[in-house]
Amino acid sequence: MSLNLLPRAFQASLRLGSASRVTINVPRWTRPYATPPAEQKNRTAIVTGSARGIGKAIALRLAQDGYDICVNDIPANRTGADDVVSEIKSLGRNAFPFMADVSNLQEVEKLVEASVSELGPLNTMVANAGIAQVKALLDLTEHDLKRMFEINVFGVFNCYSTAAKQMIKQGSGGKLLGAASIVAFKPFALLSHYSASKWAVRGMTQAFAMEMAEHRITVNAYAPGIVGTAMWELIDEELGKKRGAKKGDTIKKYTDELIALGRTSVPEDVSKTVSFLSSPDADYMTGQTIVIDGGIIFT
Ligand SMILES: NC(=O)c1ccc[n+]([C@@H]2O[C@H](COP(=O)([O-])OP(=O)(O)OC[C@H]3O[C@@H](n4cnc5c(N)ncnc54)[C@H](O)[C@@H]3O)[C@@H](O)[C@H]2O)c1
pLDDT along the chain (299 residues), means of 10: 43 42 65 72 95 98 97 98 98 98 98 98 98 97 98 98 97 96 97 98 98 96 97 94 92 96 98 97 96 97
How far is residue 190's CA from residue 235's CA, in Å, rounded to a whole number? 10
Question: Relative to the CA of 234, which ligand 1 atom is closest?
Answer: 19
pLDDT of residue 281: 93
Element (H, E) at 175: strand 174-179
How far is residue 102's CA from residue 72's CA, in Å, rounded to a whole number? 9
194 an active-site residue?
A: yes
How far is residue 115's CA from residue 58's CA, in Å, rounded to a whole number? 17
Residue among 102, 208, 220 at smallest CA distance from 155: 102
Q: What is the CATH number of the domain that holds 121?
A: 3.40.50.720
* Cβ count within 10 A of residue 152: 27
Residues 6+ apart with CB under 8 A from 20: none
Whether residue 49 lies inside any domain: the answer is yes
> Up-side HSE of residue 52: CA atoms within 13 Å toward CB?
15
pLDDT of residue 98: 98
Kindly state if the Cβ of 226 falls inside 6 Å of ligand 1: yes
Residue with CA closest to ligand 1 atom 10: 179
Whether residue 58 lies inside any domain: the answer is yes
How far is residue 34's CA from residue 12's CA, in Å, rounded to a whole number? 25
91 and 63 in contact (C-beta within 8 Å)? yes
Q: Which candidate in 194, 222, 254, 284 is catalytic?
A: 194
pLDDT of residue 23: 64
How far is residue 64's CA from residue 102's CA, in Å, rounded to a whole number? 25
Domains identified in the chain, total number: 1
Whether residue 22 lies inside any domain: the answer is no
Whether residue 298 lies inside any domain: the answer is no
Whether residue 106 lies inside any domain: the answer is yes
What range does the domain containing 110 cover?
39-225+266-292
pLDDT of residue 187: 97
Question: Relative to the CA of 53, which ligand 1 atom is closest?
Answer: 16
Whether residue 160 lies inside any domain: the answer is yes
Whether residue 235 lies inside any domain: the answer is no
Whether residue 194 lies inside any domain: the answer is yes
Kindly state if the Cβ of 53 falls inside 6 Å of ligand 1: yes
Region at 177 (left for phi over 0; alpha for psi -120 to 50; beta for the rest): beta
Residues 6+ apart with CB under 8 A from 233: none
Write the burial class of residue 127 (CB in 10 Å: 0-12 exposed, 13-18 middle, 19+ buried): buried
pTM: 0.92
pLDDT of residue 211: 98
How far is residue 170's CA from residue 172's CA, in Å, rounded to a whole number? 5
